[in-house]
Amino acid sequence: MTSSIAAVRSDRPSSEVAPYTETDWTDGQDSSRTPYVRSKTLAEQAAWERARAAGAEDRLATINPGAIIGPALNSDHSYSLQVIQRLLSGMPAAPRLGFTFVDVRDVADLHIRALTDPAGGGQRFIATDRFLWMADVAAILRQRLGDAAKSVPTRTAPNVLIRAMAIVDSGVRPVVSDLGKQSWFSSEKARSTLGWTTRPVEDSIEDCARSLL
């Protein structure tokens, strides 16, 4: 089952030395969370409850990916791809937002590993690579794409400006609470249990951008 790291962000603070792991759960009943976060949490919990009720918990594995990027299949772009798209489209400045990225091809690979390796049964697996601020992503785009990235912003927008934009732009509203915040996630379980690896995030960003262009 494809879940999300949205279902892993518990109320405890994370850090580089104490990242979120598969033992952490978001509170799906917390009304202060966005509908997306709550739905991902409640859906995964329901899947585990159903598997346990059927005595088949070892037949289920869930994958909890971060912000998925990489080559786009079609023009129906996910929110994660819209992050790259907005930078390419020439927003005036990058908001102080960050994401823990992962390549769609690596997520697919982890699904296959969890599905076919007996060690995956009954387990959750976080699928993440590196955390990057949007300003970091913008710098990679400019470095990798050259003239094709001439509209990518070079400045970072003050948080107060993004909050003001959220008043009129519904697409910005859900991210306001994450301005300036970083969360840490560990994908060590997937790497050590299933031998999962990830490609360089710089390559994922470039491949994503070129497919969007």
Going by C-alpha positions, the residue among 139, 149, 135 that lies closest to residue 88 is: 149
Alpha-carbon span 126 to 23, nearest angstrom: 10
Mean pLDDT of 92-115: 95
Residue 126 pLDDT greater than 70, yes or no: yes
Beta strands in 107-189 (DSSP E): 123-127, 131-133
In this structure, of 29-38, 41-50, 111-120, 180-189, the range with the lowest mean pLDDT score is 29-38
Mean pLDDT of 121-147: 96
pLDDT at 174: 67
Mean pLDDT of 11-40: 94
pLDDT at 158: 82
Position 114, amino acid = A
Residue 128 pLDDT greater than 90, yes or no: yes
In the structure encoding, which two tokens stand for residue 201, read together? Answer: 């995030």
Band of pLDDT at residue 172, cut at 50, 70 and 90: low
Alpha-carbon span 71 to 202, nearest angstrom: 13
Distance from the first to the final alpha carbon of the chain = 31
In the structure encoding, which two tokens stand for residue 154, read together? Answer: 């070079």
Residue 170 pLDDT greater than 80, yes or no: no
Domains located in the chain, CATH noted:
5-212 (3.40.50.720)
In this structure, of 94-98, 125-129, 151-155, the range with the lowest mean pLDDT score is 94-98
Q: What is the pLDDT of residues 185-208, one digit of tens each?
A: 999 999 999 999 999 999 999 999
Q: Is the dihedral of CA 51, 55, 59, 63 positive or negative?
A: positive
| 64 touches 5 (CB < 8 A) | yes
pLDDT at 193: 98
| 152 touches 88 (CB < 8 A) | yes
The angle, 0 to 180 degrees and rounded to 10, between the axes of the packed helices 201-212 and 134-145 is: 70
